[in-house]
Amino acid sequence: MRTSFSDLPGGAGHVRNIAEEANLLAALERTLEIVSRCDCGGERADTSCYGCLRNYGNQYCHDVLKRGYVIEFLANLLQ
């Protein structure tokens, strides 16, 4: 993966890299790996945590972030 960084907060320079299909697929596969390995929300995966989906920037929607939805979406997308 070629690296291109910008000095803007949030890593806006990564947009150019992720626009390449192989890099986008790698990012989606890694995301699926992370959310699949986490055990928050139990068997139903009906919540999320700071180890898988939550961060400071998305705290306004923590109550609706559900790991199970992301796992299902990414699994279907990557098929």
Residue 14 pLDDT level (bands cut at 50, 70, 90): confident
Alpha-carbon gap, residue 37 to 60, rounded angstroms: 24
The pLDDT, as a whole number, for residue 8 is 61
Residue 10 pLDDT level (bands cut at 50, 70, 90): low
C-alpha distances in Å from residue 47, one per residue of 3, 24, 28, 36: 32, 25, 20, 13
The predicted-structure confidence for 28-54, as pLDDT tens digits, reads as follows 999 999 999 999 999 999 999 999 999
Domain ranges within the chain, ordered by starting residue: 14-78
